[in-house]
Amino acid sequence: MTLRSIAVAPAFTVIELLVVLALLGVLAGGIVQIGRGGGRAVALRTAQATLAGVLAQARSEAAARGTNVGLLVHADAVAPDRRLREWVVAFEDPVHGWQPLTPWLALPAGVALLPSVTPAGDAIEDGANWTGLRSSGLGGTTVMCDGVAALPVVFTARGTVFRGAGDFVLAPVERLPADGAEPWRYLQPDAVRGLSLSVYGLVTFLHERSEM
């Protein structure tokens, strides 16, 4: 076998590896602090770092596989406890549709993504001002993966975003009664954190409500 016959598979760049390691460090530190009673602020920071890491993973998988790979956010009303809190990384098979690459994973307890429409009514605290706050990256129709309806954020093999560019806003939540139309009541609009994903696949951290 000659050197010319050896196929070199796409891999992480050094920068991507450093970013992932840094995010894992933030995530690990956040989990420890949550266990010690760090509260909602730590849970939000951990969720923000987790989401950034998963988006980076999906983008790298798309480049490595040479096909569309998505971060699919749970949006199935059949399982409201998982809605806008769980996700899976999956690739798009032209015959069989979306196929999972990871298990379904969840944000820290007490945190959920905002929907693509600003929450209102029973989904917010009385008197709270959520004007302008929404996850614009989660718009559009759902796709099916593992029998679950999900909202996809899709990366192409070139690392660009085919669907899902926009903001992803994370907020503290509490569970609403099971017979309600919405699963979560969103709390503390001034405490939100989030990410902005460009069409080029680049992530910007949003630490203040004024940035969203």
Which segments of the chain does DSSP mark as H helices, in order? 14-35, 40-65
Contact 148, 80 (CB under 8 A): no
The count of other CB atoms within 10 Å of the CB of residue 17 is 12
* 23: number of Cβ within 10 Å: 19
In the block, residue with structure tokens 């080029």: 200
**For residue 6, pLDDT beyond 50:** no
Residue 41 has pLDDT above 70, yes or no: yes
Residues 165 and 182: their CA atoms lie apart, in Å, by 25
Measured from the Cβ of residue 204, the count of other Cβ atoms closer than 10 Å reads 12
pLDDT at residue 128 greater than cutoff 50 = yes
With a CB cutoff of 8 Å and minimum separation 6, the contacts of 23 are 49, 50, 52, 53, 56
Q: Is the pLDDT of residue 150 over 50?
A: yes
Q: pTM of the predicted model, to two decimals?
A: 0.81
What is the pLDDT averaged over residues 154-174?
Answer: 97
- Closest by CA to 212, choosing from 165, 173, 172, 168, is 168
Amino acid letter, residue 162: F
